[in-house]
Amino acid sequence: MGKMVVLAVAVLAAVSVIAAAATGCSNNKSSTSSSSSTASSSSATPSSTSVSATAAPGDYSALLIQATDIDFPGETFTAMPATPNPNGQAGVSGGFTNAAGNRIIGDTILIFPDASAAATALEGAQGALGSTVTGTPQPASVGTGGTLVSGTSPDGSKAVTVLLFTEGKAFATLEFDSAPSDPVPPEFATGVAQKQDSAIKNGLPA
């Protein structure tokens, strides 16, 4: 169960970093300074309605939604430990799982020097979606450039829904994994992403 969350988050974070690296070389100084901060291994994830900007510089764990923000009928989700600065990129990744372990949500937020760099990362990730999920991308009413793809993993072993968006200088990726015959409804994925967008708006310093 844990391996599935780590894999989903790591793949999405890597796609984002690669996309940003292609056009973000001039921003290396900013990225280095952002990722050099002290990481806390005991970060709590407060509700999207109570997020503040009191975290130490470079500690973005407070931007993540918490498990109680995930409202799926008949299911209770538990948050997994957050990972600061995934793959060396400023930001945070986290995950959530239901009691049975057959629904897993990966949540990655990457922070860039400005909104333009975040948009470039989004465009790169959109082009690489086929490596994670089959399906046709469609607009999603979340943040800027919201994009949702619902289908299966390339090997058909699980249902996958991916939702990407930017909010200012933040680029967020949410991946919803479940049994092949039991995908999450698109409106559920969009609702979770909208809560994540609100948390970023409320908690990310300008």
What backbone torsions phi and psi does residue 180 show, to the nearest 5 degrees?
A: -55, -35
Q: What is the mean pLDDT of residues 35-53?
A: 32
Token pair recorded at residue 105 = 């949500």
Residue 111's closest CA among 87, 83, 92? 92
**Whole-model pTM?**
0.75
Q: Which residue has the higher pLDDT, 44 or 121?
A: 121
The per-residue pLDDT for 58 is: 79
3-state class (DSSP) for residue 125:
helix
Given a cut of 60, is residue 24 above it in pLDDT? no
The per-residue pLDDT for 57 is: 56
For 54-99, how does the pLDDT look when each residue is reduced to its tens digit (9 = 90+)?
344 578 999 999 999 999 999 999 999 999 999 999 999 999 999 9
Q: Which residue has the higher pLDDT, 47 or 104?
A: 104
**Sheet with 170-178, side-by-side order of all strands:** 77-84, 91-98, 104-111, 170-178, 159-167, 144-152, 138-139
Measure the CA–CA gap between 13 and 142, rounded to whole angstroms.
19
Identity (one letter) of the amino acid at 135? G
Average pLDDT of the chain to the nearest whole number: 80
Measure the CA–CA gap between 51 and 41, rounded to whole angstroms.
18
Q: Which residue has the higher pLDDT, 7 or 148?
A: 148
The per-residue pLDDT for 1 is: 36
Token pair recorded at residue 158 = 């699980």
Measure the CA–CA gap between 43 and 170, rounded to whole angstroms.
19
For 123-161, how does the pLDDT look when each residue is reduced to its tens digit (9 = 90+)?
999 999 999 999 999 999 999 999 999 999 999 999 999
3-state class (DSSP) for residue 9:
helix
For 152-175, how does the pLDDT look when each residue is reduced to its tens digit (9 = 90+)?
999 999 999 999 999 999 999 999
